[in-house]
Amino acid sequence: MKNVIFVVMCLFYGHSAVAKPILPIEGSWQVVSYQVVGYPAMSQVNMKNWVGKVAKFTAHQSATLADDKTIQTCHQFNYQVTTENAEGYFLIGYKITPHRLGIVEEEIQLVSIACQSDSWLGEDREFVVVNNELMLSYWEGTIFFFFKSLDSSLLITPQSVGYLNPDSDFDEKTITRALPDYSVKYVKKLVKPAHFKLNRQESVIEIYSNQNRGKIARIHIFDDKVLLPAQAKMGAAYAQVFKSREKIIDCQAGTNDRQGQTLCSFQNMSSIQYVFEPKSGSDISPIEALNQAKLVEIVWNADRRLIVETPSPDRSE
């Protein structure tokens, strides 16, 4: 009888041990950007004030939100972890497709947190874990993007590059404010198309104008410390970026000055083009040459249709 009781107790505690998953968002996460998805209750100033704040979640189930001046604390929270279909979650909850947020993953991990007292988390808060570097959270009509790795500081989505979007003015003041980590190397306004060239250490970004609107038309990115959909990195092979054959991908052969290159994009994410360049002198099949081709550039094309959103329900209550 004692043996039976012992076995039952082992099964019970073993089940309890696996029933509570490890907190996926443990550690420090910095707010690096935001996306308005409805009619936000938060002012533009407050949204910008969130950028740079660091949220820290501990294994002891406490959470802080801090910047240089303040720190807010939830001393104890409960949490639940589930796996959700990405498209269903964002369409039903926020009336936005995950592609507009740069999410290509079919499934997301959802961490629901309930603080046991009044805190910056509110009564409950949901955090969407996209991958090991990026998570999102909805706050009063605004989705904030959190980075786990501080090596990357520029987030690229179909709608924006950092804080630059299709409605951003094409002028030095707007650009330098939106990209404070970059310095303007030179400006060419008299050539067509006019453009700025910016540097961050050895990395380069080129910004071109839509001269009819006086806005930004496209941005060419050569920086290997940016966060892209599918966690693509400069120098990655095509087969690493587009590793799922089930995803619909649009690829076009480069022409003129892009002769020999291939420009690809994910389905419903045509504003972000991945530029691949094959190894020179490779005696392999065209398909294998593309699979081995390296990512050398990102071209972001301004599409104003992507920043016109329908109102979304407020799920912050």
> CB of 29 within 8 A of CB of 54?
yes
Q: Given this model, what pLDDT does residue 151 score?
A: 60
> 160 with 301, same domain?
yes
Query: Which H or E run includes 241?
Result: helix 238-241
- Looking only at Cα atoms, what is the longest distance across the chain? 91
Q: Residue 14: is its pLDDT beyond 70?
A: no
Q: Given this model, what pLDDT does residue 3 score?
A: 55
Q: Does residue 5 sit within a domain? A: no
> 188 with 137, same domain?
no
The percent of residues in the chain predicted with pLDDT above 70, rounded, is: 85
- Estimate to the nearest angstrom the gap between the alpha carbon of 195 and the chain centroid: 25
CATH number at residue 278: 2.60.460.10
State the burial class of residue 60 (Cβ atoms within 10 Å of its Cβ: 0-12, 13-18, 19+).
exposed
Q: How far is CA 142 from CA 8, 17, 89, 94, 125, in A?
A: 48, 36, 16, 10, 13
Of 114, 130, 148, the last residue of a domain is 148
Q: What is the pLDDT of residues 43-80, one digit of tens each?
A: 888 888 898 899 999 999 999 999 989 999 999 999 99
> CB of 207 within 8 A of CB of 219?
yes
> 161 with 197, same domain?
yes
Tokens read off for 113: 């947190």
Range of the domain at 210: 154-305
Q: Does residue 3 sit within a domain? A: no
Please state the domain count of the chain: 2
Q: Does residue 259 sit within a domain? A: yes
Q: Does residue 49 sit within a domain? A: yes
Close Cβ partners of 109 (under 8 Å, ≥ 6 residues apart) = 24, 81, 82, 83, 84, 128, 129
Q: Does residue 94 sit within a domain? A: yes
User: What whole-number distance in Å separates Cα of residue 85 and Cα of residue 98?
Assistant: 10
The better pLDDT of the pair 38, 175 is held by: 175
Of 93, 128, 148, the last residue of a domain is 148
Q: Does residue 9 sit within a domain? A: no
> 170 with 49, same domain?
no
Query: Which H or E run includes 175?
Result: helix 172-178
User: What whole-number distance in Å separates Cα of residue 206 and Cα of residue 220?
Assistant: 5
Q: What is the pLDDT of residues 145-166, one digit of tens each?
A: 999 866 656 889 998 998 898 9
